[in-house]
A and B are shown apart, each in its own frame.
With several copies, the nearest count.
Chain A
Amino acid sequence: MDKSMIGDLDSLPEADKLRMAAMIEQLQVRDSLRMYNSLVERCFTDCVDSFKRKTLDKQEETCVRRCAEKFLKHSMRVGLRFAELNQGAPTPD
């Protein structure tokens, strides 16, 4: 979850800030677990198509690794662009 998704908290009193921060942390934990689940589903769907054995073969494993790595890099890039847009910055063409 990207920092820029969190609104301006400075104007809140101290006790409310703490509570807001706890809520944000909760959402972040849930979000990262959901991301994990979606990542597994996507890479499984794209990489595993044969069910003649019950273990991943070398090729499937390589595919899953690359898929996960690509997805993470993608996700970070999207996070950066998203943050820029949230701040109204111009984007690379």
Chain B
Amino acid sequence: MAGVPSDLEREQIFSMAEKEMEYRVEMFNKLTHTCFKKCVENKYKDSELNMGENSCIDRCVSKYWQVTNLVGTLLGNTRPIPVNDAAP
């Protein structure tokens, strides 16, 4: 890959970057909807998130992230998941 990349290589780089971003957006959306269902009471008696909901959301995001990493490892996946690891 040293030297100037060819047009084809550049196209591939762009295309991969696009797929990766789509992937992350989709992951973020699935996480958001899943944690909303798991943590937020759906009678909507209030328009504020209460303390219990807030801490549930934080933990839900953290666990979802761990599941993503765990499944990634099982799939022999080194790529789509971010460079930095999740907090322990």
Q: Residues of A at under 8 Å CB distance from B? A: 1-2, 5-7, 16, 19-20, 23-24, 26-27, 29-31, 33-49, 51-56, 60-75, 77-79, 81-82, 84-92
Contacts and interface: CB of A to CB of B under 8 A. Distances in A.
CB-CB nearest 6 A-B residue pairs: A88-B84, A66-B44, A81-B61, A69-B47, A66-B47, A33-B23
A22 to B, nearest CB: 9
A18 to B, nearest CB: 10
Given A20-B17, A24-B21, A78-B31, A54 B75 contact: no
15 contacts: A5-B25, A7-B20, A29-B19, A30-B19, A36-B77, A37-B27, A44-B34, A51-B39, A68-B71, A74-B49, A74-B53, A77-B54, A82-B65, A86-B82, A91-B58
Interface string B25-53: 11111111111101110101111110001
Contact of A27 (B25, B60, B61, B80): B25
Give the interface SS of chain B, mostly helix, strand, loop or mixed: helix
A72 to B, nearest CB: 8
B59 A7 contact: no
Interface band, chain B: 35 or more
B57 A78 contact: yes
Contacts of A35: 29
A29 B74 CA distance: 18
Contacts of B25: 1, 5, 27, 31
B13 to A, nearest CB: 8
